[in-house]
């Protein structure tokens, strides 16, 4: 079950693992108290990068689309977590409406939808699929590779306009697995009688990565004080740059200046810890997903010398949205490998519980590159029950359960940051 881990955990991260394991009771209590103050997002996945000297989240997705990549041994954990989450919002829930992404030809994504339906059915819910796509005007069957079928149905507003459902199906809870990159459709607005999870302001129509990482800054500062570590060990530096036009070069100077500033901060830290690797940053769209609108940069000259192909790639993301705001994020190397291919861990959570994860693996990419691109594949991570309990006697850096516990702690810090971010950006805070 456990992939062979070949990361040489060097220097600082060995120390970090040791400190976090020793502080486990304090850490778990700290999380428990935080969750009394803040509501975790319904579900979440976090991309981590392990550089050996640093372990940091580089992306937090509030509409995770890879539940099919989790090991089947993890399903009982996911079902238990889903039960806890549903009880919080609608204890007597009977019907759940799941609204997936529009790309109905992507069989990998559809397998994710099938896996989610399996999890929620096990919690005692009737689950049906409603589509935001105008092309779906009648129940439409979609066949999966294993021969099973999903049925997509057109959404309907109730006669009084206050509820959303399907024909002869009135759900208590509506679960979005659609990141709303193209905007908030009218049919999802003004739903006051049902619980919509996550709320629409968690979608990319309103959400910004810079808000998330600002919240993560706050969370990590508190956590680092508790564990007595340098917050940088868990936190990538970042800067936000607005009003950029990659096609005509507007805002290029501001972007180059931000790249220089972040690189200078990284150099200082590398010097402090005696790290010989070359610092780099990742420039990415402030809103959006699917690994689009991302580039690795080692110096500000690279930003000024973009060719037409690179400009076109950076200018537009999912659903044809134009990029005008970006974040310049400290690049975190990934020194994890599986079968000599570069890998990064992705951790999945439902409510406040880690329910599993996988390695995103890419044979054609380097240790400083984005792995979320065509050609990637997935290897399930064994967070299985016997591995969830850290081994306190193991030598630092040698035990997979300890590594996975570390991943789970950092992923939950990102989850907590997402919960603060959603509170701060909520357009209607008085509803709660």
For residue 3, what pLDDT is reported?
38
Average pLDDT over residues 249-270: 93
Query: How does residue 9 score in pLDDT terms, banded at 50, 70 and 90?
Result: very low
Q: What is the DSSP string of 250-309?
A: BTHHHHHHHHHHHHHHHHHHHHHHT--SPP-EEEEESS--TT-SEEEESSHHHHHT--HH
Average pLDDT over residues 312-323: 74
For residue 89, what pLDDT is reported?
87
Q: Where are the beta strands (DSSP E) in 67-139?
A: 95-100, 126-131
Q: What is the CA radius of gyration of the chain?
A: 22
3-state secondary structure of 142: strand
The CA distances from residue 58 to 47, 96, 234, 281, in Å, are 6, 31, 10, 11
Report the alpha-carbon distance of residue 162 to residue 27 in Å, rounded: 43
3-state secondary structure of 75: helix
Report the alpha-carbon distance of residue 242 to residue 120 in Å, rounded: 40
Measured CA angle at 231 (ends 228, 237), to 5 deg: 175
For residue 11, what pLDDT is reported?
53
Tell whether the model's pLDDT for residue 269 goes beyond 80.
Answer: yes
Report the alpha-carbon distance of residue 155 to residue 170 in Å, rounded: 11
Single out the residue of 347, 380, 385 nearest to residue 361, CA to CA: 380
Cβ-contact 245, 325 below 8 angstroms: no
Cβ-contact 390, 416 below 8 angstroms: no
Q: Which of 17-21, 237-241, 271-275, 352-356 is the least confident region?
A: 17-21
More confident residue, 407 or 390: 407
For residue 389, what pLDDT is reported?
63
What residues pair up with 311 in beta bridges, in sequence order? none
Query: How does residue 394 score in pLDDT terms, banded at 50, 70 and 90?
Result: low
Going by DSSP bridges, is the β-strand pair 353-362/341-350 parallel, antiparallel, or unpaired? antiparallel
CB atoms within 10 A of CB 363: 12
Tell whether the model's pLDDT for residue 387 goes beyond 60.
Answer: no
The CA distances from residue 418 to 59, 98, 100, 257, in Å, are 11, 22, 21, 28
Q: Phi-psi category of 183—alpha, beta or left, where left has phi over 0 and alpha has psi -120 to 50?
A: left
pLDDT per position as a tens digit, 20-54: 889 999 999 999 999 999 999 999 999 999 888 89
The predicted model scores a pTM of: 0.93
For residue 360, what pLDDT is reported?
92
DSSP code, position 325: -
Average pLDDT over residues 416-424: 97
Cβ-contact 331, 344 below 8 angstroms: no
Measured CA angle at 65 (ends 143, 39), to 5 deg: 135
For all residues of the chain together, what is the average pLDDT?
Answer: 88
For residue 27, what pLDDT is reported?
96
For residue 5, what pLDDT is reported?
43
Query: How does residue 323 score in pLDDT terms, banded at 50, 70 and 90?
Result: confident
Q: Which of 5-19, 20-34, 366-380 is the least confident region?
A: 5-19
Q: Which residues of 153-186 are buried (b: 16+ CB within 10 A; e: fewer)?
A: bbbbeeeeeebbbbeeeebbbbbbbbbbbbeeee
Measured CA angle at 267 (ends 420, 234), to 5 deg: 30
Average pLDDT over residues 251-276: 94
């Amino acid at each position: 079950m456990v992939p062979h881990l070949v990361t040489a955990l060097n220097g600082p991260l060995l120390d970090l693992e040791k400190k976090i394991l020793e502080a486990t009771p304090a850490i778990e209590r700290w999380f428990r108290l935080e969750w009394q103050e803040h509501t975790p997002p319904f579900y979440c996945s976090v991309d981590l990068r392990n550089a050996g000297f640093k372990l940091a989240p580089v992306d937090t997705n509030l509409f995770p689309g890879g539940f099919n990549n989790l090991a089947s041994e993890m399903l009982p954990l996911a079902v238990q977590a889903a039960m806890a989450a549903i009880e919080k919002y609608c204890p007597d829930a009977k019907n759940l409406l799941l609204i997936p992404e529009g790309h109905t030809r992507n069989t990998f994504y559809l397998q994710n939808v099938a896996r989610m339906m399996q999890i929620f059915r096990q919690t005692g819910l009737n689950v049906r699929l409603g589509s935001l796509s105008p092309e779906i005007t009648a129940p439409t069957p979609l066949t999966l590779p294993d021969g099973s079928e999903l049925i997509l149905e057109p959404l309907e507003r109730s006669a009084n306009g206050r509820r959303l459902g399907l024909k002869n199906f009135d759900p208590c809870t509506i679960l979005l697995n659609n990141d709303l990159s193209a905007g908030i459709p009218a049919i999802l607005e003004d739903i006051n009688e049902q619980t919509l999870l996550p709320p629409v302001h968690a979608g990319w129509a309103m959400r910004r990565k810079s808000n998330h990482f600002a919240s993560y800054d706050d969370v990590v500062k508190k956590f680092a004080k508790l564990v007595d570590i340098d917050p940088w060990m868990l936190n990538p530096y970042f800067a936000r740059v607005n009003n950029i036009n990659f096609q005509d070069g507007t805002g290029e100077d501001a972007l180059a200046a931000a790249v220089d500033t972040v690189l200078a901060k990284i150099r200082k830290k590398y010097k402090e810890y005696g790290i010989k690797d070359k610092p780099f940053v990742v420039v990415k769209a402030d809103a959006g997903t699917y690994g689009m609108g991302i580039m690795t940069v080692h110096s500000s000259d690279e930003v000024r010398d973009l060719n037409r192909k690179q400009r076109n790639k950076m200018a537009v993301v999912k659903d044809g949205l134009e990029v005008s705001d970006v974040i310049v994020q400290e690049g975190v190397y990934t020194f994890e490998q599986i079968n000599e291919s570069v890998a990064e861990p992705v951790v999945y959570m439902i409510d406040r519980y880690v329910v599993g994860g996988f390695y995103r693996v890419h044979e054609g990419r380097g240790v400083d590159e984005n792995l979320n691109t065509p050609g990637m594949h997935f290897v399930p991570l064994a967070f299985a029950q016997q591995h969830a309990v850290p081994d306190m006697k193991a030598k630092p850096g040698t035990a997979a359960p300890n590594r996975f516990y570390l991943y789970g702690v950092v992923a939950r810090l990102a989850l907590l940051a997402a919960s603060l971010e959603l509170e701060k950006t909520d357009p209607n805070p008085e509803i709660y």
